[in-house]
Chains A and B, each alone.
Chain A
């Protein structure tokens, strides 16, 4: 479906004269390029102005690109590799209740796209088992994403449907992890499944702690896995701690 040679072109464009030689050398790094495109896209989704509403068209286009990459990675079997390495499955049940609560409040609110994409941490955790060179870039982007994520959630927790769009992507990843990656249709079929992901849990936690905003709009009971929910302001250690708990349980 994708002509490998074609994708290489855009990167080779930078390399000018030794393009032809680089082309031959670039064949094995197609995955790396695709991965970096994926990383770039995810970072783009994160880095939106929070002062002014982000551009919906741009976000939709980037998200569609991410989906496309994920589809291809599924077909390649790359995704399957990630799936096998993933260990964060067992904690799923504990998150269900939180998620349902988060979802029900959110669905009442007016639909509004807020591309506060946060961690696709599960995917990246899986990635870390892969090729080390690829891991370097993804690991650092995971950190970057987590940093941004906490800031992003800070500002958005009182808004309607903040996780909706990001949830769609998380859901895609979730579907890929839980089901057979061969059934690509599954990517979009299970819209109504609970979202067993870190983001939703964190959403619940964040919303809970910002009492001023939430009281009037979305009264969340405290999520079961919240340990210290008093100050979630960009506390990276906090998030790591929670991730640790989830992964280990």
Chain B
């Protein structure tokens, strides 16, 4: 049944065919160099590498998932890592209509999470606002030939014409990648799902919406356990929502969830069935000198990510990235300012709704560098060891294919130096909300509105 979409004032549905620009080869490496740019048909809404880094999945506003695969390393070109090419594209979620509430359910993919590989096939979880799906992505490069009762084109033979029998054999064919939905986890969330996270036991996973967190078993779709519920008895008393949640990478009983008030709660599932009482509460006291009407909004945490080691976690609020030691609850161990020059512009950013943008953040494989996005297609990296930081731009105009990315600088006030960009000329429509870092190598994926950029760092 075709669902007619009414075009709301704030919804832009652009449909034009997928275009994939030609892969750009880089042979020179210094800091970061542009490797590939892919233009997508719709706004990219999530980016995620798989556990080996060989595959990179993106989800978009149109409910599609596009998976890129890294080419196997070429022995002759030992200094260049394999580049990424499109591997598979499929429609994960379709737009739905909730007849009871007379509201559309967006097909936009909010999150993708990969399962660790157990056999030849790959599995990932993708979710929109209401439904989570487990997808199996498998390759087929052989097909059976030589049937007795069927012709090669599929038509059935007349049995009377068969004089000899033969055994069908597998012959190689062009690689075909198939994606099929294996599980559909639906009807468990009243509010919009913002996070999914796979447990380290690889059997269960959690899904979090604005007010609740549910625990699922990957094999069971008709039942989930509610482990966190912050919905007040009286919705009138609602002042805080859940913004993100993640399982600890090593402890299968531990997870965290962040809130719109800037707090992070760590919960232990062994303590009780309903983890409404946190084991730890991470909150930094407010700086009274920076207090304004917007203090609460900018303290709202948009993303939380554990380090690979499991010792630290990183949170992203509107203006900063904070690193927390799980053993210390009263303040973060490190704070990095992403775009402090925006502090004086909060009113305008509130007016144009940019203050509600949810930026994500990510760790590199060794937990030494953290990365997050900003406006004007800028993204920032912070080196935790050297305390240096860099601002780079994901844009095709300014970055020639072979050259190294030039660090950018934003001039907050006063005299603008050459090559600096003033705050007022920043384009707030060009925002980088989603970034991902290869788990092992220095390859990063950065999503602007419609484009996916893949950069790699110097090899030696």
Contacts and interface: CB of A to CB of B under 8 A. Distances in A.
B240 interface: yes
Give the interface size bracket for A toward B: 35 or more
A168 B236 contact: yes
Interface in A35-69: 37, 40, 44, 49-53, 55-58, 60-61, 63-65, 68-69
A27 interface: no
Contacts of A7: 292-293
Interface in B342-368: 344-348, 350-351, 353, 356
Nearest to B302: A57
B8 interface: yes
A167 B234 CA distance: 11
A191 B234 contact: yes
Given A55-B192, A56-B191, A57-B243, A10 B292 contact: yes
The DSSP consensus for interface residues of chain A is helix
Contact of A60 (B9, B102, B192, B260): B260
Nearest to A155: B102
B137 interface: no
B411 to A, nearest CB: 14
A61 B297 contact: yes
Give the interface size bracket for B toward A: 35 or more
Interface in A107-162: 110-113, 155, 158-159, 161
A50 B210 CA distance: 19
B238 interface: yes
B308 interface: no
A57 B260 contact: yes
Interface in A1-26: 1-3, 6-7, 9-14
A52 B104 contact: yes
A61 B234 contact: no
B356 A58 contact: yes
Given A37-B347, A55-B356, A68-B296, 14 more contacts: A13-B348, A14-B348, A51-B103, A52-B103, A56-B192, A60-B241, A65-B297, A68-B293, A112-B235, A155-B102, A164-B234, A164-B236, A165-B235, A168-B235
Interface of A: 1-3, 6-7, 9-14, 34, 37, 40, 44, 49-53, 55-58, 60-61, 63-65, 68-69, 110-113, 155, 158-159, 161, 164-165, 167-168, 171, 188, 191
For the complex of A and B, the 3 pairs showing the least CB-CB separation, nearest first, are A168-B236, A10-B347, A164-B235
